Structure 1
Amino acid sequence: MPAARVSSAVMTHPVRRAQAEELAARLGLGGLALDPAPDADPSALRTALVAWERVAEGATHQFMIQDDVAAPDDMLDLVAHCADRFPGDALAFYTNWHARNGAAARLAALAGAGWVRAVPEEFTPTLAISLPVAEAEAFRRFAERSGQRHDDEVMAAFLRQGGRRSALLAVPTVTEHTGTSSINGHASQGVRLAVCPTAVDDARPLLYEGWVLEELEWLPYMRYGEGFIRLPGQDATPAARSHYTWREALPGTGLLTEGAIQRLVRERRPADAAAAVADLFGADFADELWIHCLLLGRQAQDAFRRHAPEGAGRGGTPAAERLRAAAVSTVGPAGLPPERRPEVGQAHTELLSAYAWSAVNAGTVLLERTRADRR
């Protein structure tokens, strides 16, 4: 029995009330947090303020979930156990597959971690998130002064101030975003799904006991069909939210050259799979995806070697291997422009996954070569 006492609310709008009531009843949640001004301009923050205020007497943590999220029936029990383990942290139980934080969670999955620290400059995913009750109240006071309408942006700003740390992201994702509609104006982002979809029985051991990846060094990510790199310390610069293509950012890594990357493309990229991906989604996308996954594999291996506790494994158990497979299965669809994502069927997913794995596995070779060059 967890010591944490978690109260909860479903953040919703009257047009989705029935959906929210079903979710609350199935998960045994505390009730609905309805938009107090449903006819006004859309504002997720306006409704979030209601959700963070609905703290039950005696609760130690507040859990807020949005109405368009699927979650396991025992979600509250899982949240309570995680709150026991990390009593002072904001805990995010959903991360989008196409965000910088999605790339961080995917990297952490490949490295064998159970949690990863969110990048502080990006929005904090708030589809399913818990806070200690004192922090929930502090956030509410902070957010009431904001002119923003996006609660995820305001949450990130809150966690950047007052000596706080960014949220911990659950690497295995037991929640899922449903549909593509958006009351708050995010429909243009297209299909938005979990980065590492995982069955709850597989997720629990990693969430309760898995190690935490706190340091990301440089982070490869994709957006709209192109590969980018988040540089070390970028959040502390005026260009915190700038996007640097992998070619632009390579000098900032202090390690890699385009020549070394292109050499591995020639040596290790499977020609048949590259041609098939190019035929479906264009040669540029085929190039960018493979190079992104090459960098991702390199950084995941490096993160494991640098930060995993002694005796930790990157995989080996069936659950860990399923998590790694889930992480790689989403990298291709997530990397596409939003308008192309609906084209991806099961056969395309399998092709993209196999293609991505060829690059992720080659990342170990890239790491060994760069380590040898430094010696």
Structure 2
Amino acid sequence: MARQRLSAVVMTHPRRRAAAEKLALSAPSGLLRVVMDPDPTGTPSVLRTALAAWSAIEEGATHQLVVQDDMVLSESFLDRVRLAIEELPDAALALFALWDSRNGAAVRLGAMAGARWVGAVNEYFPCVAIVLPRRIAEGFVAYGAERLGGWPDDILMHRYLSALGVPRYVAVPNLAEHEDRGSISGNAFRGPRRSVCFLPGDRPTKEGETLTGLTVLPFFKHGVAQCAVRVPGPGPEQWLHLGTEQYLHGAGLPAALLRPPGAGSTEPDVKGTWLTALAMGFEAARAGLATPPTASEAYAEAVATIGPGGISNAGTEDHIARRREPLAEVARRALQAGREAAAEHRTRPRPAGGVVWHGAANPLGEHLARRLADRQERSAAVIDLTRLRSAEPEVTVRPHGDPAPYRLSVGELYGPGCSRHTPIGRMVWDALRSHPVRAEGDPDAEVYPVHVNDLADAIEAVLRTPPENRVIAVAAEKPCTAAELAQAVHSAVRPVPVRAVTDAEPGWHTPAGTLRPPGWTPATGLAGGLHSFAQWLAYEGVLLESD
């Protein structure tokens, strides 16, 4: 006899009422009720409607299911949900994850393991189709009501559930698919937003089988192969945001294996798919996940969406569809290569002596140290970051045996680990919350953005080839203007308005001198760098900041 009782609603806006009613009719005998935006003429707000939906839980129900109006449900949607809340009664259950997301990466590894639910990871918690226990749903109504006009509902949900320690799972395969009809909340610029693994005919089975404890999550997003890597140790959960190529190089895989074989190997979508799947196979083997049966539909579908998800922000529907099967074949070969590499893997010895860090016990220091550890092949050194947050930011580097340090004068630093209170951080933080980007001060002021990865590479360059001068500038040869930077945030993070605030003084950092580290050139494009900074602020930095 069922111990749990489900209440369920579709949340919508009057402009999409017909779609919501059609979705509600697709469920058995009136289970899905329609809940409307309580202020449809107000500023568009998914959170406002979501709070109304969570408030509409029926008397006597133990769980509330909320589905957005632009979803397509699997044939066994409600059967799987009902079985899942019996097996996982205290958990939050996401029934959908995007094909280019970290939670999507977790779903892929769950499909490898034959799991039905996988532990959610450091990201927003997907809210387009979600189930919460009653107590948690009621608590979120109060929590969200105090935060209207700020973060989107899915990031707030992640913060809320994390703070309470609520178990969080994502369905494998997903139970819902996104059907793009335009975005009231302003997400259309992201391109097609599809499920990582949707099988309409999937049947309920073994809903208590879960996979948790994942520590490396390879994913392909915005044309870039990336890895979220868990920082070991006790305390709050922390993750590093690394390039997949960097991660695999640091793990000791040979450079030749990081290059896709065969025709088309230089195409960006091929390279991104290859690196992502290579890391998946490598990590799955090292984690002891069994090779899945080739007949597994969930595994096959999850693999086939790696490439399309990675190019979804910049490709048309037709182009993405044409590339699906060729990229799926690349992914299948890379997965096998990754498993074989893990079987032959030997940990690469680190250079003797190591590096002594000062002022690195913070997220920025962790990212710099990891980047250098994955790339450095030279002798030991003392690296001091304590002045990196000063009015004249610099890093001092003293190679072993050198009597005096090198001073690296740094431009406007941004990227994973950096604060939202810097001038660039404020711009990105505003755009993340759908607020106008404030271009402070003189719009023609020269700005020298320096990404965290490029700073680490500059430190490595000094260690590799000690320069003649003791003061070195870490900055691009050509700056951008403050107005150009604000427009880049608009394009790379979210297309919100840009507003000039001419009476403000942002305090841009201009590096001292013009000599740069020998052989060093910044490799991070501004658009990609801003996107990586936005990701870190939204999923990690947000947890370090008060409301």
- Short-chain TM bin: 0.7 to 0.9
Shift in alpha-carbon separation, 1:262–1:33, aligned structure 2, 3 A: same
Kindly provide the CA deviation profile for residues 74-116 of structure 1, in whole angstroms up to 9, marking residues without a partner as x: 5223211110000000011111111111111112212322211
- Name the structure 2 match of 1:125: 126
- Name the structure 1 match of 2:251: 256
Shift in alpha-carbon separation, 1:91–1:239, aligned structure 2, 3 A: closer
- Conserved? CA contact 1:297–1:362, under 8 Å: yes
- Name the structure 2 match of 1:18: 18
Is residue 366 of structure 1 aligned with residue 361 of structure 2? no
- Name the structure 2 match of 1:334: 309
**Corresponding residue SS for 2:202:** helix
- Name the structure 1 match of 2:87: 85
- Name the structure 1 match of 2:485: none
Matched AA of 1:201 = D
* CA distance, structure 2, for counterparts of residue 89 and residue 234 of structure 1: 24
* CA distance, structure 2, for counterparts of residue 284 and residue 106 of structure 1: 21
**Corresponding residue SS for 2:99:** coil
Range with bigger deviation, 233-242 or 45-54: 233-242
Range with bigger deviation, 185-194 or 174-183: 174-183
Is residue 325 of structure 1 aligned with residue 303 of structure 2? no
Query: Which structure dedicates a bigger proportion of its chain to helix?
Result: 1
Kindly provide the CA deviation profile for residues 299-352 of structure 1, in whole angstroms up to 9, marking residues without a partner as x: 2233344xxxxxxx653384xx11111001111100115121524355531111
Range with bigger deviation, 232-241 or 324-333: 232-241
- Conserved? CA contact 1:333–1:344, under 8 Å: no
Where do 4+ consecutive residues of structure 1 move more than 6 Å? 234-239
Shift in alpha-carbon separation, 1:347–1:290, aligned structure 2, 3 A: same
Report how far residue 265 of structure 1 moved: 4.2
Q: Percent identity?
A: 35
Is residue 7 of structure 1 aligned with residue 7 of structure 2? yes
* CA distance, structure 1, for counterparts of residue 219 and residue 300 of structure 2: 18
Shift in alpha-carbon separation, 1:136–1:345, aligned structure 2, 3 A: closer
Matched AA of 1:264 = L
Equivalences, count: 346
Report how far residue 149 of structure 1 moved: 5.0
Kindly provide the CA deviation profile for residues 183-202 of structure 1, in whole angstroms up to 9, marking residues without a partner as x: 11111111011101123434
**Corresponding residue SS for 1:201:** coil
Matched AA of 1:370 = H
**Corresponding residue SS for 1:185:** coil
Q: Given the alignment, which residue of 264, 268, 275 partners 1:291?
A: 275
> When the two structures are superposed, what TM-score results if normalisation uses the length of structure 1?
0.84
* CA distance, structure 2, for counterparts of residue 9 and residue 50 of structure 1: 10
Report how far residue 249 of structure 1 moved: 4.1
- Name the structure 2 match of 1:97: 99
* CA distance, structure 1, for counterparts of residue 235 and residue 90 of structure 2: 27
Gaps of 5+ in 1: 306-312
Matched AA of 1:336 = I
Is residue 225 of structure 1 aligned with residue 209 of structure 2? no
Kindly provide the CA deviation profile for residues 172-223 of structure 1, in whole angstroms up to 9, marking residues without a partner as x: 1121000151111111111011101123434x225x24x3111111211121
Matches within 5 A, 1:134-283: 134-147=135-148, 148-165=150-167, 167-179=168-180, 181-202=182-203, 204-206=204-206, 208-209=207-208, 211-233=209-231, 243-250=241-248, 256-257=251-252, 260-265=253-258, 269-272=260-263, 274-275=264-265, 278=266, 283=267
* CA distance, structure 1, for counterparts of residue 172 and residue 94 of structure 2: 9
* CA distance, structure 2, for counterparts of residue 236 and residue 222 of structure 1: 29
Kindly provide the CA deviation profile for residues 141-183 of structure 1, in whole angstroms up to 9, marking residues without a partner as x: 1111114351111110101113334x20012112100015111
Q: Given the alignment, which residue of 42, 49, 52 partners 1:50?
A: 52
* CA distance, structure 2, for counterparts of residue 73 and residue 343 of structure 1: 27
Matched AA of 1:153 = I
Report how far residue 3 of structure 1 moved: 3.0
* CA distance, structure 1, for counterparts of residue 22 and residue 269 of structure 2: 40
- Conserved? CA contact 1:64–1:128, under 8 Å: yes
- Name the structure 1 match of 2:292: 315
Matched AA of 2:54 = W
- Name the structure 2 match of 1:309: none
> When the two structures are superposed, what TM-score results if normalisation uses the length of structure 2?
0.59
Range with bigger deviation, 107-116 or 126-135: 107-116
Matched AA of 2:345 = T
Is residue 59 of structure 1 aligned with residue 61 of structure 2? yes
* CA distance, structure 1, for counterparts of residue 181 and residue 192 of structure 2: 6
**Corresponding residue SS for 1:161:** helix
Query: Which structure dedicates a bigger proportion of its chain to strand?
Result: 2
Matched AA of 1:295 = A
Matched AA of 2:225 = G
Shift in alpha-carbon separation, 1:72–1:323, aligned structure 2, 3 A: closer
**Corresponding residue SS for 1:48:** helix
- Conserved? CA contact 1:66–1:127, under 8 Å: yes
Kindly provide the CA deviation profile for residues 242-298 of structure 1, in whole angstroms up to 9, marking residues without a partner as x: 7421244457xxx613xx2423246xx4413x35xx5xxxx2332222112100111
- Name the structure 2 match of 1:310: none
